[in-house]
Structure 1
Amino acid sequence: MQNLFRKLPKVDILMNNKELSSIKDKLSYNAFYELVTKEIQIFRDKIKSGLITDFTTDDVIKCTLNSAKKYDRNNLKKIINGTGVIIHTNLGRSIINKRIFNRVSEIATSYNNLEYQLSTGKRGNRNSHVEAILCKLTGAEGALVVNNNAAAVVICLNEFAKGGNSIVSRGELVEIGGSFRIPEIMELSGAQLKEVGTTNKTHIQDYEKAIDENTALILKVHTSNFKILGFTESVENKEIASLGKKKNILTMEDLGSGVLVDFSKYGVTKEPTVQESIASGIDIVTISGDKLLGGPQCGIILGKKELIERLKKNPYLRAFRVDKLVLSTLEMTLDLYLDEREAIKEIPTLRMITEKSENVLEKANKLYEALLEIGIKTTIAKTRAKIGGGSMPEETVPSYAIRFQGNPETLEKFFREGDINIIGRIHENNFIIDMKTIFNEDIPVIVEKAKLLKELV
């Protein structure tokens, strides 16, 4: 046993071994050191327990290489989305265009003019990088970006309704997610909630009757994450905007999803656009950047210039402001919208929503054939992919999926776990990978993972 202990290579020798240089390049020094020392300890423990009677340094190197395949200290990692949910909140919502991200990486790894005016050599405002293009695309007079839409609502209510009443329809008292509800946001902002109407019906007269000397704002919340069907009625933006002007009261809409294109032109159910909301005369509109807009996580506030200028001075802005990565990603995403055809083609979220079903079928056939070549028989099934993301929860688009044979729970777990993480779904007691949210470059990765499936069955 003592002779075996003496044969164990020293840590520094392993760390400088040429065969392990590929691992050394991928990991930080501490991570590489931890991996090597852990592997040596495993051999030491096996010697103590008598499980090893002889070994070579090459054996230790080989085991270290195998362990490195599973060694990932990062909790946040890439996964392949086979659920068919395009804007999947749990899986990071909208995907950023790769070309945009490559350009953003230059900004992230360099000094930049985040708060510096190149024309004057003086301090600038970080919001200026996106305000002009947001106004151009939406028709708003001013714009401000914060870290998410909830923050956008909070800072607006705090600035314009703190200590006063905000009138909201009972049918619009939504829970945004994670138990974050409109009444709680109101309380946090310092505004007082005044409910009007009923769950299924609210009339313009309900808003008008509720107005008194304490009324600071009328808030309309777009119910993008649920629908009330049947005997319902709600008040249009134009009516609310008109009432606000008549009574000299600010009006605001939490539009949420951030649609900048009319999806009905592409055969998808129409969702109210930001431009339509601004054109209605509503004073302030808030939207998300990482839902149907297809950009990074952020909240965007649009509205009258004097109101936006007030928000820029609000103390909350320091806590809610976004960084260089968000602003640069958002600016480049918005730039694509200057040509709608380019936006549909280049923004992954928009491309998947408007993608023709025959293109999805083509991807399904590729994966089907590739799996068949390695001896795994599957079938192709018609499905309906969800747009999702709290934006259009009930809206679906045609899709195709690869349907696997075998126990669905076992298959779901197999694809989800391990070095390669593929999230599919169980549909009609079958495990499927929906091709709507699969990219061509994902197909060989899925096949590589599936090669291990034979060992499972």
Structure 2
Amino acid sequence: MDVFTRLGLKQVINASGKMTVLGASAVSEEVAQTLKEASQNYVDIDEIMELTGTVIAEVTGAEDGCPTSGAAAGIAISVASVIAGTNLTHIERLPYSDGLKNQVIVQKGQQIHFGASIAQMISLGGGKVVEVGQANKVEAEHIEEAINEHTAALMYIKSHHAIQKGMQSIEKMIEIAKRYQIPFIMDAAAEEDFQKYIAMGADIVIYSGGKALEGPTSGFICGKKVLMEACRKQYKGIGRPMKIGKEGMAGLMVALKQYSHKDENIELQISRMKLLCEDLNGVPGLTCMIKQDEAGREIYRANIEVNSKEAGMDAAELLHALESGNPAIYLRHHYVNIGILSVDPRPLLKGQEETIAEKIRLILARGVR
């Protein structure tokens, strides 16, 4: 029996992905032990913060790094760093930034809601969002014409939630930022390559510590040393209510050091999803096939298309029945409105794909709504 069951909560099978709403990731034994030991000891917080920054830099290839409580906090802190720098008077003013360079340019198709609004995270850091272009089409001219004396940064949001077509590329935005000598901020919260965007020339890159990294609830920022110093300084201002504790920083460092040795075993994940699809393709009203992640990441999910007439219920009803059970089974449901549910193999424990298939067959056989 796991800790949450002992506390009186229902068991959860996470087939949705490394989602914040389900607790993101399950950490390794070494990270878990580190969290325990760190919670039972004391440390100079400024010292461990600087050490964590050094480890972040080593893993990402950046000049320096800054730990955060999560990627959303990383957005607010990064924006604050380009607006206030290390000026304590400015830091203590935020998020009120009138009179400072405070405009952050974002492509319209990337103004997303990830559980909260990207615009709100930028605003918490004192930024004034400047949307450019249209939801499905942004020209380089849109970006350049928005740049003025109040521009603090250009920001790119790499996310499956964002519009994938018609946007200007990361490379183009970096080129524009460098030409106009404006900081370029990259929100790469769920990305798996921690060196790619620094190598491309980004000034600031933000990651989640609890998603691809499979670390504790945390986040980290990497980039230019002067900007990382400014990021850490924001803990005297808007970063204070977003602070990460000693346990989070210790666990984050261990997870970062483990990352290069981690085996994602993509072939095994695909094999598990093939078996799931073979099982479900024999169920009336269901068609299952493997699809790669929309944002191009090395993630291969089982897409289950529900024909409501043949299955006896639609995808939303099936989803509700799965989530209402015990164990509660959470599938990825970004396309439930068009009858598609997905199974992400990464967070599944051994044999849980069999439980999912069995439960789906049982629900449809009973006609549970």
Specify the alignment match of 1:286 in structure 2. Answer: 206
Cα pair 2:269 2:345 within 8 Å, conserved: no
1:275 to 192, 195, 206: 195
Question: 2:209 and 2:332 mapped to 1: Cα distance?
Answer: 27
Distance 1:233 1:297, change over 3 A: same
Distance 1:436 1:362, change over 3 A: same
Let me know the Cα RMSD of the aligned residues: 4.6
Q: How far is the alpha carbon of 1:225 from its aligned partner? A: 1.5
Higher relative contact order (CA 8 A, sep 6+): 2
Question: 2:339 and 2:70 mapped to 1: Cα distance?
Answer: 37
Q: How far is the alpha carbon of 1:224 from its aligned partner? A: 3.7
Question: 1:395 and 1:198 mapped to 2: Cα distance?
Answer: 29
Per-residue CA deviations over 1:340-376 (Å, capped at 9, x if unaligned) read xx3425xxxxx5xx535334456789x99xxxxxxxx
2:192 to 250, 259, 280: 259
Specify the alignment match of 2:345 in structure 1. Answer: 436
Ranges in structure 1 where 5+ consecutive residues have no aligned partner = 1-25, 28-70, 117-122, 261-273, 346-350, 369-376
Task: State the secondary structure of the residue aligned to 1:127.
Answer: helix
Per-residue CA deviations over 1:293-347 (Å, capped at 9, x if unaligned) read 33333332111111111221222232212123432332222222233xx3425xx
Specify the alignment match of 2:61 in structure 1. Answer: 139
Cα pair 1:254 1:285 within 8 Å, conserved: yes
TM-score norm. by structure 1 comes to 0.58
Q: How far is the alpha carbon of 1:277 from its aligned partner? A: 1.4
Cα pair 1:149 1:288 within 8 Å, conserved: yes
Cα pair 2:203 2:224 within 8 Å, conserved: yes
Q: How far is the alpha carbon of 1:172 from its aligned partner? A: 4.5
Distance 1:98 1:448, change over 3 A: farther
Question: 1:106 and 1:284 mapped to 2: Cα distance?
Answer: 31
Q: How far is the alpha carbon of 1:407 from its aligned partner? A: 5.8
Specify the alignment match of 1:63 in structure 2. Answer: none
1:149 to 45, 55, 71: 71
Question: 1:301 and 1:99 mapped to 2: Cα distance?
Answer: 25
Ranges in structure 2 where 5+ consecutive residues have no aligned partner = 84-96
Cα pair 2:101 2:152 within 8 Å, conserved: yes
TM-score norm. by structure 2 comes to 0.70
Specify the alignment match of 1:171 in structure 2. Answer: 108
Specify the alignment match of 2:92 in structure 1. Answer: none
Cα pair 1:141 1:305 within 8 Å, conserved: yes
**AA of the residue aligned to 1:106:** K
2:290 to 377, 380, 384: 384
Task: State the secondary structure of the residue aligned to 2:211.
Answer: coil
Distance 1:385 1:331, change over 3 A: farther
Q: How far is the alpha carbon of 1:143 from its aligned partner? A: 0.6
2:352 maps to 1:422: no
Distance 1:253 1:446, change over 3 A: closer
Q: How far is the alpha carbon of 1:144 from its aligned partner? A: 0.7
Question: 2:199 and 2:105 mapped to 1: Cα distance?
Answer: 21
Question: 1:276 and 1:430 mapped to 2: Cα distance?
Answer: 35
Task: State the secondary structure of the residue aligned to 2:188.
Answer: strand
Distance 1:290 1:208, change over 3 A: same
2:232 to 291, 294, 312: 312
Per-residue CA deviations over 1:150-183 (Å, capped at 9, x if unaligned) read 211112222322432424144345123235142x
**AA of the residue aligned to 1:318:** R
Distance 1:154 1:145, change over 3 A: same
Distance 1:213 1:335, change over 3 A: same
